[in-house]
Amino acid sequence: MIISFRDVSVEKNGVRILKGINVELSERRIGILGRNGSGKSTFARLFNGIETPTTGTVSLNGVTERKALRRHVGFVFQNPDNQIVYPIVEEDLAFGLKSLKLSETETRQRIGEALHRFDLEHLRDRFTHQLSGGEKQMVALVGVLVMQPHMIVLDEPTTLLDLWNKRKFMAALNALEQSLVVISHDLELLEGVDRVLHLEDGTLVEDGDPATVIANYVARSQC
């Protein structure tokens, strides 16, 4: 799977958030670094069509249609409360599947398999507002996985997690077969990826192996 950005810029209220991004991504594990306000969250939302470029194109294997992007690229928000909309876990997980027009049996089976994969069957009938932060983040991830995307983009996925839940969530990510794009300030989370992009002021300032890009990012942050 290849995601391509060609001369991509995003402007909002007269402010250019992203400026002329040109990059092609095909690795299984990709990290994105950047200070607050660097444009990395906007960049992340371009992957599956939540955001659209003001100029330029975003394509998946040559296809630019937003519906195709959303069908093949899932998105996990930084705050799971922005993603979980139904009061019962199973109802929430079933919501996205309605567009696939699966039978009730198929829907329950797909949900059950996804919950079982992460030992979360006990959450199936729980009220979502009663879940812990770690449980909500896992449910948000499962809500994306039941759609069976080819790629998953995660925006600061460990920000709201304590150390125990962070390690559990990282283990869950590492076990996924899908391609992952992880936007994070958490350098530990990015150490095991294949490639890291560094954004500053809406531009791509560095792109390469994690050790080099992370070291240079730390050096820039200390200036």
The answer to whether the pTM exceeds 0.85 is yes
Listed in sequence order, the DSSP H helices in 146-209 are 163-174, 187-190
The C-alpha angle 180, 183, 186, rounded to 5 degrees, equals 110
What is the structure's pLDDT at 20?
Answer: 95
Q: Would you kindly state where each structural domain of the chain is located, as residue ranges? A: 3-221
What is the structure's pLDDT at 118?
Answer: 87
What is the structure's pLDDT at 160?
Answer: 83
- Are 70 and 147 contacting, i.e. CB atoms less than 8 angstroms apart? no
Listed in sequence order, the DSSP H helices in 77-162 are 89-97, 104-117, 133-145
Query: Within the chain, which residues score under 70 in pLDDT?
Result: 223
- Are 116 and 53 contacting, i.e. CB atoms less than 8 angstroms apart? no
What is the structure's pLDDT at 161?
Answer: 85
What is the structure's pLDDT at 96?
Answer: 85
What pLDDT digit, counting tens, does each position of 110-125 carry?
A: 999 999 988 899 999 9
CATH superfamily assigned to domain 3-221? P-loop containing nucleotide triphosphate hydrolases (3.40.50.300)
Beta-carbon contacts of 40 under 8 Å, excluding residues fewer than 6 positions away, are 32, 33, 34, 183, 199
What is the structure's pLDDT at 48?
Answer: 92
> CA-to-CA distance for 87 and 169, rounded, in angstroms?
22
Specify which residues 141 forms β-bridges with: none
